[in-house]
A and B are shown apart, each in its own frame.
Chain A
């Protein structure tokens, strides 16, 4: 059974790149364009991994991550922060909110795919 990945990203192109990349390698994709929708969708569908944009309309990625972590069913789901806001301190803030990985844009789709697989393998082991 293929793994499900939730993409929470407000920007159309970024969402499409992730979708095209991950669908082509056989993942099932869920999409949300805001923090609140993303949190609702995650609680509803229990994805195997979440790609979280940090700059989102409404509640931001940090807050969405905190809310996801508050739900016991999602407490251990890997969350990857994806951001173009690479200020020093942002990374620490993302980890503090509960992210497992931090990728800055522009990322190499190849590298992102490798990281996603790595995290899925890790969570499958435990």
Chain B
């Protein structure tokens, strides 16, 4: 149930706008209904209250009637005792007032009117007898008047009193029952009102839950899918029941995901092809070069017969240029691999100290040839590192090779240091230095200082660019500080521990 309803709402083939509008309108209708029921209940209570007030007035009128009756009977009795003319007149007036009282009682009597009619009859009789008694008193026949009083008035007045009592009792009973009814009615109205209000709230909660859930669930699903795509998981689909805008969005997302998956596989394939192409090209280029260099060296070694001195010198140049070409091929290959994201570092434990010492030993013959000294300054406690030792050696050899190439007198210096996270290596020379405007450009591909004296030096112009990439793959960097005619110091820094190679754009 808790999920059924939102799914049901999601499947409705209408837009979000319509769903929200309908749900809000239906809630408004519910609240209007609560209001209407409330008004009905109020009107009903008002009617009941008015009725009760009417009953109270009726009781008051009946009591007035009772009072008047008592007064009249009293006046009639007094007339018999005090027989002066004034008393008789007053009694006569008293008797005549009955008619007015009755008219008023009759007006509010309702279902009591039959009883009132009886009372009126009894009164009419009382008036007749009263008038007769007054007549007898006036005629001086007091004894007859007394007899009449005793014989007729006494029973009549008893009956009258009983009837009026019963009138009042009836009215009072009616009021009690009406109050009880009103009370029960009030409770019923209260229950109905609370019931309608509660069901409106419940309805609003359910509608709100279903609508919001039907919207948030697919949004959450899509959010997760987007995250997946961001992490390279293409091709997966999400199942969204919605037939609204979100459903369309989800279908679009699924479509995009599929397209990305296809594209990714195509790219992967292309990348594999490129990788294979690079490997093949490397092989194809090196094979003839290998033959050229091999034959040349065999000729130079006199295997095919004696070689005159002048030709030896030319053969030396052939070999030198061949090796230069080989260097270029290797460098271009390295760069293509890095750019294709195919230069994979072999991350392993290494000892920076021995990497530097080995690199220095490798270039020492060249230094000796030029009469240069290599000053090595390594702290004895240089810690071990984690990275690609072969590639770090490549950078070291490049920097040392450059330093030796461009330095004619003076010395080369190599130093290293470690802080808690990084290694720093510096290779300094006493060469011609690099002008400030060139310093930022020497790490670009195929850049060599545009100056005839340095152009003579054989170099691919790719070594520093490759070195920079290798350091970037390690999460490190490379740089130079130099002044023209004052020598240069190339430095690089790399994390002591490289657990994973970095992406290089």
Binding site for B on A (CB under 8 A): 11, 13-14, 17, 20-21, 24, 55, 84-89, 105-110
**Which residue of chain A is the closest to B390 with respect to CB atoms?**
A88
A24 to B300, CA, bound (A): 13
Residues of A close to B282: CB separation below 8 A:
84-86
Nearest CB in chain B: distance from A60 CB, A: 13
**Given A20-B298, A20-B303, A88-B346: A106 and B283 interface contact (C-beta under 8 Å):** no
Contact A13 B294, beta carbon cutoff 8 Å: yes
Judge if B301 is at the interface, Cβ distance under 8 Å: yes
A106 to B319, CA, bound (A): 11
A16 to B500, CA, bound (A): 45
Residues of A close to B293: CB separation below 8 A:
106, 108
**Which residue of chain B is the closest to A17 with respect to CB atoms?**
B294
Contact A85 B279, beta carbon cutoff 8 Å: yes
Judge if B209 is at the interface, Cβ distance under 8 Å: no
**Which residue of chain B is the closest to A111 with respect to CB atoms?**
B297
Residues of B close to A88: CB separation below 8 A:
344, 346, 390
Nearest CB in chain A: distance from B282 CB, A: 7
- Which 6 residue pairs spanning A and B have beta carbons closest together? A13-B291, A17-B294, A106-B290, A105-B290, A84-B286, A106-B293
Binding site for A on B (CB under 8 A): 279, 282-283, 286-291, 293-295, 297-298, 301, 303-304, 322, 326, 344, 346, 390
A73 to B45, CA, bound (A): 119
**Majority secondary structure, B binding face:** helix
Contact A14 B279, beta carbon cutoff 8 Å: no
**Which residue of chain A is the closest to B291 with respect to CB atoms?**
A13
Contact A84 B346, beta carbon cutoff 8 Å: no
Contact B279 A87, beta carbon cutoff 8 Å: yes
Residues of A close to B287: CB separation below 8 A:
11, 13-14, 84, 105
Residues of B close to A13: CB separation below 8 A:
287-288, 290-291, 294-295
A27 to B287, CA, bound (A): 24
Residues of A close to B322: CB separation below 8 A:
106
Contact B289 A109, beta carbon cutoff 8 Å: no
Nearest CB in chain A: distance from B179 CB, A: 103
Contact A106 B390, beta carbon cutoff 8 Å: no
Contact A106 B289, beta carbon cutoff 8 Å: yes
Contact A89 B346, beta carbon cutoff 8 Å: yes
Contact B303 A21, beta carbon cutoff 8 Å: yes
A65 to B289, CA, bound (A): 26
**Which residue of chain A is the closest to B388 with respect to CB atoms?**
A88
A73 to B303, CA, bound (A): 33
Residues of B close to A20: CB separation below 8 A:
298, 303-304
Contact B346 A109, beta carbon cutoff 8 Å: no
Nearest CB in chain B: distance from A106 CB, A: 4
A24 to B299, CA, bound (A): 12
Nearest CB in chain A: distance from B98 CB, A: 133
A88 to B394, CA, bound (A): 13
A110 to B297, CA, bound (A): 8
Q: Can you identify 15 A-B contacts, CB atoms within 8 angstroms?
A: A13-B290, A13-B291, A13-B294, A14-B294, A17-B291, A17-B294, A17-B298, A24-B303, A84-B282, A84-B290, A88-B346, A105-B290, A106-B293, A106-B326, A109-B294
A85 to B290, CA, bound (A): 12
Residues of A close to B290: CB separation below 8 A:
13-14, 84, 105-107
